[in-house]
Amino acid sequence: MKRVAIIGSGLGGLVAGNLLAKKGHKVTIFESHSAPGGYTAGFWRQGYYFESGTFSLEYSDMVFSLMKKIGVFDKVEFVRQKSRLVSADFDGSPENYADLKKMFYDAYPAEKARLDKYFAEVDKMVGALEPFLLKSSIWAKLAGGVKMAGLYKKYQHMTMSRFIGQYFEKDSNLYRFWSRIVYPDTAALMVGGAIISFINDYWTVKGGMQSWADALTDNFRALGGELKLNTYIDKIITEKGKATGVAHGQEVWPVDEVIAACDYKETFLKLLDDQCLLPLAATDKIRKAAVSEGFMVVYLGLKMNNDELRKIMKLPHVTLFDEQPDCDIYNNCDEHFFEKNSIGLYSLSLLNPKLAPNGKSSLMLAAMASASWMDNWGGGDKQKYKELKERAKNDMIAKAENLIPGLRNLIEYEDAATPLTYERFTHNTGGATSAWSWNPEKRFYDNMMGNHVDTPVKNLYIGSCWAAEMGGVPGAIAAALKTVKRVGG
């Protein structure tokens, strides 16, 4: 039996904690927040439930089988997350890849030749990935793996913008839509995976993501694990190049292994007690490495019942694509950014009426945003930050009114979170929502598809989505599984 400290109670930390506790190890999870979950969490305000971070998940086959192994699958109600895509040119809820293609052919008949060339290449990506994301035979997966290896070699260094630019004019709606389907300038090889996940393998939790984190927490405690909330670990203690403990203020916990299920940069630039354990070049690389973009999210409680809202939204999740040609997330001086950006609308109460007061509904508005916008949201000036946050919130509500007329007059509760809000609560650098940058030209790891849990410090492992270049739920779970093997699970 080993004494194991896990820093962070996000999905990676909770999964690793459950598996290690089940094997008989003495495991303590340390969480700085007042509730477990990290980005897989939510909160209640005036009878309305909202998600704190993650809205959905993919790779369901892997996730569900693991939840069954842990023993919580029957305690979490996973449901399909259907989505509606809306723009000036199209409005649809494609059920499959063929429906998605038809929607674009119908919306842009004059672009048929370009669409033919584009989808001919995307078809290859989708075909190679389908066996891995859907239930398929081992032979189908082997065949898909061979195809994917060739595509990976071809596209691993190409950004989405370069890839899409081969088929569509850069000032066209088709270029803007397809080059923005994931994160800005994502690796081109992600096109197929994004499509398959969105159409065939997109899931959420009916009771809210917090119910998932709570189920894992309850199970962890039942196995003998200890969760310490409101306990920010401010130091990873090392001796002779090996992690030997963690500390919170003057309180120290000696351990045999440490799993950093938290932000990679914070782990090595702030928590590690001996910076000399990393070569200067490695420290410099970590400091300069780009992270994935954050989000601005608006939380609304509405004086509208779910039936009325459903007539307008049709589905709980809607992407309202109306990005303007000069919208640039990297232009941090554009004070009109949120007037130009596309937004997503998500109503949890349409998914589950119990997540809002009787006769009312909830709505979340989300837009990708930079933590560096307008001099880091005001340059540290609290009043300026408040003004910018309010402006961004009102701009997003105004955009949502294009789909829900009179929305402003229906609001009885409102709040918002910026990338800096997420940074404060999760300690993720810049409010990063999915670990490192997804841009292959800014990669942190040489292998963008690998999972990297080992560190230069013995007995210290990365057990969060930061072990993968393109994190998310799959990255966090893969890291947890790999760290468990390292510890001896």
**Residue 340 · residue 322 · CB < 8 Å:** no
37: region left, alpha or beta (phi > 0 left; psi from -120 to 50 alpha): left
> pLDDT of 45-54, one tens digit each?
999 999 999 9
Name, in order, each residue with C-beta under 8 angstroms of 57's C-beta and a sequence gap of 6 or more: 63, 202, 203, 204, 472, 473
* Helix extents (H) in 32-137: 60-70, 97-107, 112-133
pLDDT at 245: 98
Q: Tokens 């203020």 belong to which residue? A: 249
> pLDDT of 130-187, one tens digit each?
776 666 677 666 766 777 778 778 888 899 999 999 999 998 999 999 998 889 889 8
Q: How far apart are CA 98 and CA 92, in angstroms?
A: 13
Local confidence pLDDT in tens for the 489 residues of the chain = 999 999 999 999 999 999 999 999 999 999 999 999 999 999 999 999 999 999 999 889 899 999 999 999 999 999 999 999 999 999 999 999 999 999 999 999 999 999 999 999 999 988 887 776 666 677 666 766 777 778 778 888 899 999 999 999 998 999 999 998 889 889 898 888 889 888 888 999 999 999 999 999 999 999 999 999 999 999 999 999 999 999 999 999 999 999 999 999 999 999 999 999 999 999 999 999 999 999 999 999 999 999 999 999 999 999 999 999 899 999 999 999 999 999 999 999 999 999 999 999 999 999 999 999 999 999 999 999 999 999 999 999 999 999 999 999 999 999 999 999 999 999 999 999 999 999 999 999 988 878 999 999 999 999 999 999 988 899 999 999 999 999 986
Strands 91-92 and 83-86, bridge-based pairing: antiparallel
> pLDDT of 422-454, one tens digit each?
999 999 999 999 999 999 999 999 888 789 999
The amino acid at residue 220 is F
Domain boundaries, the chain: 3-41+61-79+207-289+437-487, 96-201, 294-426
Beta-carbon-side half-sphere exposure of residue 258 (alpha carbons within 13 Å):
29
**Residue 60 · residue 134 · CB < 8 Å:** no
Q: Tokens 């993968």 belong to which residue? A: 468
Residue (of 97, 100, 60) closest to 84 by Cα position: 100
The CATH homologous superfamily to which domain 3-41+61-79+207-289+437-487 belongs is FAD/NAD(P)-binding domain (3.50.50.60)
Domains 3-41+61-79+207-289+437-487 and 294-426 fall in the same CATH topology? no
The amino acid at residue 406 is G
**Residue 292 · residue 435 · CB < 8 Å:** yes
Q: Tokens 């009885």 belong to which residue? A: 412
The amino acid at residue 455 is T
> pLDDT of 380-409, one tens digit each?
999 999 999 999 999 999 999 999 999 999
Name, in order, each residue with C-beta under 8 angstroms of 164's C-beta and a sequence gap of 6 or more: 118, 175, 178, 179
The H-or-E segment that residue 49 falls in is strand 48-51
Burial of 142 (0-12, 13-18, 19+ CB in 10 A): exposed
Q: How many residues does the chain have?
A: 489
Residue (of 489, 444, 440, 432) closest to 468 by Cα position: 444
Token readout for 340 is 């130009």
Residue 44 phi, psi (nearest 5): -110, 140
pTM of the model: 0.94
**Residue 465 · residue 480 · CB < 8 Å:** no
- CATH of region 294-426, choose from 3.30.70, 2.170.130, 3.90.1200, 3.30.519: 3.30.519
Token readout for 192 is 């197929």
- Count CB atoms within 10 A of the CB of residue 301: 23
The helices-and-strands tally (H runs, E runs) of the chain is 18, 19
Q: How far apart are CA 374 and CA 324, in angstroms?
A: 19
Name, in order, each residue with C-beta under 8 angstroms of 121's C-beta and a sequence gap of 6 or more: none
